[in-house]
Amino acid sequence: MSWDPGHFDPTPPASIETPPPRPHWLRRLLAPFAGVALFIWKLFGPLLLLLKNFKFLATSATFLVSLAAYTSIWGWQFALGFMVLLFVHELGHVIQLRREGVRASAPLFVPFMGAFVGMKSLPESAWAEAKVGLAGPVLGGIGSAVCLLVAHQTNSDLLRAVAYTGFFLNLFNLIPVVPLDGGRAAAAFHPAFWFAGVFAIALLFFWHPNPLILLIAVLGGYELFHRWGSRHQPQAQAYYATTWAQRVTVGVVYLALVGLLVLGMEASYLHRSF
């Protein structure tokens, strides 16, 4: 065997690269755990994102369930209009709760019982509670008025009926008994106003027996018993302490709402021919 020493090159070819350095021992230790974490994220990540939007999903699901329930009675068009006005009413509470710094859930709907907003805590004072209570009928009344305006522009009896229902429900909510909005507003005056509310609800039940009215009467009676019994406690006295200016403001807004909602019902009332 022979070879040519003139063609010998002691340097390695340019295409040969030096081997990369070994990863740090910590990276080698955590690599398996990183792989497991990536696998878990791919498997459960979408579910976690879904849970992050649980409030939106809960609101949407209960909205659709209630919409289906009302559709079975009134048809989808009236049911949809009714649900939109109900959502606008509850949105008023949510907006004011956030203005008061109170964490609240998104509106949740219960078929044939309306809707509610869950609060993480009570407002700081009866003045704040009154504002939260009145915010629902205020925005709900505005929504009903817009619906009535569109009804006049389009000459739609369907929208007139939806507007009338919206005005009526917001007016009903102003009865001064907790858990209705009027009971929240009455907190700025004196717990004695709740006696009138419970009495009005009781009369309404005897005039028109209804399970929902009975439930409101029971809850209102319990809330009256609880709040009336604790009214002399220092914490309760501090909670219900309001200025005359605050009471006058609540009273003016309350009476103005009652009057405007009655006028709205009158303007949207449809005379039946049967």
Residue 43: pLDDT above 60? Answer: no
- The answer to whether 49 and 129 have CB atoms below 8 angstroms apart is no
Within a domain: 6:
no
With beta carbons less than 8 A apart as the criterion, state whether 259 and 167 touch.
no
The kind and range of the H/E element at 188 are none
Rg (CA), the chain: 32
Q: Tell me whether residue 21 is in a domain.
A: no
Contacts of 145 (CB under 8 A, 6+ apart): 163, 264
Q: CB–CB of 156/130 below 8 Å?
A: no
pLDDT score, position 122: 75
Which of the 8 DSSP states describes residue 7? G
Helix (H) or strand (E) segment spanning residue 115 = strand 114-116
Q: 202 in a domain, yes or no?
A: yes
Q: Name the residue range of residue 145's domain.
A: 41-268
Given a contact cutoff of 8 angstroms between Cβ atoms, the answer to whether 215 and 174 are in contact is no
The Cα–Cα gap between 226 and 169 comes to: 26
CB atoms within 10 A of CB 142: 16
**How does residue 149 score in pLDDT terms, banded at 50, 70 and 90?**
very high
Query: Who has greater pLDDT, 103 or 12?
Result: 103
Helix axes 76-99, 157-172, angle to 10 degrees: 40
Q: 3 lies in a domain?
A: no
Residue 2 located in a structural domain: no
pTM of the model: 0.75
Q: Per the domain annotation, does 221 fall within a domain?
A: yes
Q: How confident is the model at residue 41 (pLDDT cuts 50, 70, 90)?
A: very low
- Asked, for residue 66, whether it belongs to a domain, the answer is yes
- Per-residue model confidence as pLDDT tens digits over 170-187: 999 999 988 899 988 988
What is the model's pLDDT at position 213? 85
Asked whether the predicted pLDDT for residue 240 surpasses 60, the reply is yes
Cis-peptide, bond into residue 179, ω within 30° of zero: yes
Q: Give which of 28, 2, 261 is closest to 145, Cα–Cα.
A: 261
Indicate if the pLDDT at residue 204 is higher than 80: yes
Long-range contacts of 143-149 (CB under 8 A, 24+ apart): 143/84, 143/85, 143/88, 143/89, 144/85, 144/170, 144/261, 144/264, 144/268, 145/264, 147/81, 147/85, 148/264, 148/267, 148/268
Computed over every residue of the chain, the mean pLDDT equals 80
- Report the pLDDT value the prediction gives residue 219, as an integer from 0 to 100: 85
233-to-154, 228, 236, 238, 247 alpha-carbon distances in Å: 56, 10, 5, 9, 21
User: What pLDDT shows up at residue 260?
Assistant: 96
Domain count, the chain: 1
> Is residue 10 in a domain?
no
